[in-house]
Structures are given as C-alpha cells and as structure tokens.
Amino acid sequence: MEYCTNCGSALEPDAKFCTNCGAAVETSSNDTNAAEQPAQAMPVQPSWSTPTQPVPQNTAPRNTMPQQGAPSPTMPTTNAMPPNGSPVPPVQPPMDQPPVPGQPPVQTGDGTPKPKGKPNIPVIVAAAVLVVALLGVGIAYGVLGSGKTKEASPAATSSVASPKTQPSASSSAKAGVSLNADKLQSIVSGYSETEAAVSVVPVGENDEFDSRQANTKFVAAGLYLPVYLAAKDSGNSGAVSSAETMMRTMDNDSGNAAVSDLGGLSALNGWLGGAGYSNTDFQRAFGDVEASNSGYENYTSAADAAKMLAATATDGGTNLLSYDLASEGVTTPSGVTLNGHRGQGIKNSYNFFILMKTGKTTMAVSVLTQNLGKDTAVSLTNDILAEVAAEVQ
C-alpha cells in the first residue's frame, strides 16, 4: 500500500490525489526527482480549471516545497475539478507549482537566478568601430595642426636679428641707436687699459656701452648726481633746494647741506644700495680733504655714473648740469648740445659727466680717469663724444 508523501494518509490503488489533503500522488522516483528539479521540463499535469488571474512576477525568491512529514503551510486553496467532473480535494496554489514548460522561469526552485542573455555582439562591434573612427579623426587633426605650427615657426624666428655688437653694447630698436662697441673700446684702449673707464647710455633706451673697466671703482671727484637723485626721491623740500643749488654751481657746501637733510652719509648710502648703484658709496663730505687724507673717500664706477646721468635727464634735471665744459678744452661735436660736470681730485683723478643731446635722443656719457692727467682725460673725452655723435646722428 502507498502513503501520501504530504500528510502520510493511506492512498487508494491507482489514486491520482490524496483524499485527505488533496496533494498529487507521486507515482515514481523519476517524477519525484523531476519535482525537486523545476528547471527541467516537467510532464504535463492533468488539466483542470485554475484561476485565470495571472500570477504577478516577483523577483524575490519563492517558497520552496515543504519537506516530507512537515505540515502544509496555511495558505488559501483553490477548488479544482478534474476533467471527468468529479470533486477533488483542494490543492495548493499555482505559486508552488513548477513553471510551465516552454516559459522561461524567473527563478529556479533551488533559488538560483535565471541565466543572463547573451551579449549583443553586433552592437558591441559597431561601438568599437565608432570609437576607432573618432580616434583616427582626432589623431589626424593633431598631426595637421602641429604641421601648421611648424610652418609658421621659421617666420617668427627669422624676424629676430642677430646682434651686431658685443654683449656690452645691446641694440636699441626705439630710436635706431646702435653703438659700435668695438670701435669705442678701441678708443679707450688707445689711452689706457686700466686707468680709464667709459660708459655710454642712450636715455630711455636699452642700448649701452661699457668699457672693460666700466664697473671698476674710481674716485668720484665731481659726482653730485647721487645727492640730487636721493633728494628728489625723498620729497624733502630742504634737501631738494640745496641739491639743485649744488647741481647748478657745483658748490660743496650746498651738497653737504642736502646730505644732512637726507639723514647723513649712511642714509645716502642706503638709498644708493636700494637704487641699484652697487659700485657707488660715499665715505666723506664734499671737500673734506682731511678725511680723504685719512683714507675716507667717495667712489663710483663709470657704469653707475652714466645710469645716474640718464636718471637725471629723465627727471628733468639736464639743465642743472651747467658747468662750462669748453673752458676745460672739451669740444662740442656738430649738431649736438652738451650739459655736464667736471671733477678733479685725489689720485690725480679727472672725470667728466656729460649729457649730449642729439637729433634722435640724449646720450649719457661718463669718462673716469686716474693718474692720466687733465690733457689725456680731455682728449679721451673728445674722441668718445665725436664717435658717439657720428654713430647716433
């Protein structure tokens, strides 16, 4: 005799359903295995009427079949009629039945998710072809763009002219001034390689000539320019007034008064350092011979002095340099105007600080000499002025 695997009641011979609980009778081990593996195709169950309302899809795992001997869950049952019309006990709802063959299950009976579909190969291939095409366009554009840039580069490079002079004399594009450094240096060297220094600066331009000794310190005899420029920068009216008198008359007392109004020599030297005149320093007052004999001296370089001359011209102080240079033997080249100072003193120094106005620009010229004497200093100055005037005009 067979027993119901669901409730344990005795079954009638050849019974299809249990008369006690209504469960379908499992007739063979093959059927039992098929019920436990819902993913495989199940034999078609006898048809009977079931509710026509579709079961909603649910992505959550379904309840598994109860184990043998366990009480059936308390869920509503549905009355079903077999084909012959005889009444049968209620059966479990369709949600516990295996999926209908031919219809892909949402989830297998053992809880494993349904298999994913195969990738769409044509779509992937088309996307890859599109990416490669876009990359090819980008690379081609970059190559063509870089080629155009390279074609334009030589034109920009060719517009830069090579310097025609030594590094000590740069070319100025503003007024077309181009100093011949080799020729100017040959003039200086003709007088002395060590005891003379010359610097030439076009006012407001980038050109400049510095001889080999232009950055060497010489005695600053006759140099009043630092005091004037420092006074103008300070805005001290007393210092400015004394400095302007000093510049017009080359008066030592007026110069010392201006230095005092500025705060003394230490204040003046502080201004010089801040203004970039690193080769200029004052250790004594103007005309203080005793201090000079004791080793205290005022020093400058030709390069610093020429820059101070250019700054004075820019500040509008050109006419303050009113010393009579012709009385010293200085010759004014044709077509130019000279304004300047002369200084002489310790170590047989003889210096000229000159602003030369030409038709194109104003040239600042400083000539510093020591141990050469007045005549040599004047001759050197005249030769430099004549050459600069010829090059600039």
Tokens of 213: 């000794």
DSSP code, position 171: -
* Domain range list for the chain: 1-43+63-107, 168-219+302-393, 224-297
- What was the pLDDT predicted at 381? 99
Q: Are 323 and 223 in contact (CB under 8 A)?
A: no
Tell me what percent of the residues of the chain surpass a pLDDT of 90: 51
Helix, strand or coil, per DSSP, at residue 339? strand
- What was the pLDDT predicted at 307? 97
Model confidence pLDDT, tens digit, residues 129-178: 777 677 765 665 554 444 443 333 333 333 333 333 343 554 343 445 78
Helix, strand or coil, per DSSP, at residue 362? strand
Mean pLDDT of 24-45: 49
- What was the pLDDT predicted at 177? 73
Please give the CATH number for the structural domain made up of 168-219+302-393: 3.30.450
- What was the pLDDT predicted at 252? 97
- What was the pLDDT predicted at 3? 77
Model confidence pLDDT, tens digit, residues 181-227: 999 999 999 999 999 999 999 998 878 999 999 999 999 999 999 99
Does 274 score more than 90 pLDDT? yes
- What was the pLDDT predicted at 126? 74
- What was the pLDDT predicted at 212? 97
* More confident of the two residues 120 and 56: 120
- What was the pLDDT predicted at 117? 52
* More confident of the two residues 60 and 3: 3
Strands (E), the chain: 196-202, 209-210, 218-219, 299-300, 337-345, 349-357, 362-370
Helix, strand or coil, per DSSP, at residue 219? strand
- What was the pLDDT predicted at 180? 95
Q: What is the mean pLDDT of the chain?
A: 76
CA separation for the pair 369, 271 (Å, rounded): 26
Tokens of 93: 């709802």
Does 262 score more than 90 pLDDT? yes
Model confidence pLDDT, tens digit, residues 72-98: 444 444 444 444 444 444 445 445 444
- What was the pLDDT predicted at 359? 80
CA separation for the pair 217, 125 (Å, rounded): 82
- What was the pLDDT predicted at 137? 58
Is residue 351 classed exposed, middle or buried when 0-12, 13-18 and 19+ CB atoms within 10 A define those classes?
buried
Which residue, 236, 247, 307, 315, is CA-closest to 276? 307
